[in-house]
Amino acid sequence: MFADYLSQEQTIAAAISTTIDIQASPHAVWDVLTDFAAYRDWNPFMNRIEGVPEVGTKLVVHMSPPGGRGMTFKPTVLAATPGRELRWLGTLGVRGLFDGEHSFVLTANADGTTHLSHCERFTGVLVALFKSTLNNSHAGFEAFNSALKQRVETAHLPR
């Protein structure tokens, strides 16, 4: 496979890393984060996700980065630990061209709130070509975080 021939030096990497604290438990955040059917009601960045958050399954993610073109991709879920982590890997064609590992990590704070770390690491020989899209995506991550916080904090979900 093509990716097997790429050395670490030939693979370009970029990352988006954002965080936010949410006034709710990790399980309350998880419930909203994984309620994909409701995304179109509150999510300005990922308008729709089809599928279930289970390891090994494929999702269909419809995304609209601010100032960018809408796109759809089909990542594979790598981790889905309720109240802790949701992570998936999307690729453009074959692995090694343009891969994105997207993660949501939920950490309980001592006061009962949740720290969300929302990141994506991009690798592959085509990363440099998508640099402007990645810059737009950072604003999308921030918008997602703010909207998730508002949705969770106003939902008053019991846990």
Q: What is the pLDDT of residues 47-83, one digit of tens each?
A: 999 999 999 999 999 988 777 778 899 999 999 999 9
Q: What is the pLDDT of residues 88-123, one digit of tens each?
A: 999 888 888 888 899 999 999 999 999 999 999 988
CATH of 16-155 among 3.90.1150.10, 3.30.930.10, 2.60.40.1180, 3.30.530.20: 3.30.530.20
Can you give the pTM of this predicted structure?
A: 0.86
Provide the residue ranges of all domains of the chain, joining segments of one domain with +. 16-155
DSSP the chain: -HHHH--GGG-EEEEEEEEEEESS-HHHHHHHHT-GGGHHHH-SSEEEEES---TT-B-EEEE--TTS--EEE--EEEEEETTTEEEEEEESSSTTSSEEEEEEEEEE-TTS-EEEEEEEEEEETTGGGGHHHHHHHHHHHHHHHHHHHHHHHHHT---
